[in-house]
Amino acid sequence: MRVAVYGGSFDPPHAAHVLLASYLLAIGGFERVLVVPVYEHAFGKRLTPFEHRVAMCRACFAALRGVEVLDVEADLPKPNYTLRLIERLRELNPADELSLVVGSDVLAETQKWHAFERVAELAPPFIVPRKGHERPGLGRPLLPELSSTEVRELLSRRSDPAVAADIASIVPRNVLEYVDAHGLYPSMLA
């Protein structure tokens, strides 16, 4: 089975994440997409607690058949390296043909990764073109330029009706419901 390994912070997950998972299934030729929130960021970036990010991902991708959210990184040795994740996934399902999903913007940073050559050997990268990081043969960037950093900033200003309307167009409703129920990304405008 051809399986896409789609890791990230997902802090929070948003419309571009959903669109990419759909693209991987419909056009990328994958039979399954494994969404794997990182337990802790490799470069020390502060993240919303892991259990919330996993729950938001489950809410975000629930409607997409063929997408599974895994919390496997919680059980891996720290620090979390992509290589350890890929090795664990291969242990769990040795017959799967894994591909690691990476944005074209990440290609210039692979020297910072732990054993990227080995990762690429075990799970050849499926490269997603990103605006500003185009490369010959990859095709055009298809996803909206949207980042979780931008979404967090908007969420912190969601008491503004115009911002709330913008958020409603880029963050799945069930993710917003989870955010509100758990008081995540508190508003700076009270």
Mean pLDDT of the 42-48 span:
80
What is the structure's pLDDT at 104?
A: 79
Residue 136: CB atoms within 10 Å: 5
Average pLDDT on 43-71 reads: 94
Residues of the chain with pLDDT > 70, as a percent, come to 95
CB within 8 Å of 69: residues ≥ 6 apart: 35, 36, 37, 54, 57, 58, 61
Confidence (pTM): 0.91
Retrieve residue 103's tokens. 């944005």
Q: Residue 79's pLDDT is what?
A: 81
Whether domain 2-182 has CATH 3.40.50.620: yes
Least confident span in 13-17, 20-24, 140-144: 140-144
pLDDT band at residue 43 using 50, 70 and 90 as cut-offs: low
- Choose the weakest-confidence range: 25-34, 38-47, 164-173: 38-47
The tens digit of pLDDT for each residue in 89-107 reads: 999 999 999 999 998 787 7
Query: What ranges do the domains of the chain cover?
Result: 2-182
Cis peptide bond upstream of 12, omega within 30: yes
CA distances from 152 to 41, 52, 113, 117, 148 (A): 17, 14, 26, 33, 6
Percent of the chain at pLDDT exceeding 90: 67
Q: What angle do CA 128, 41, 182 make, to 5 degrees?
A: 100
- C-alpha 156 chain-centroid distance: 21
pLDDT tens readout for residues 59-87: 999 999 999 999 999 999 888 889 999 99
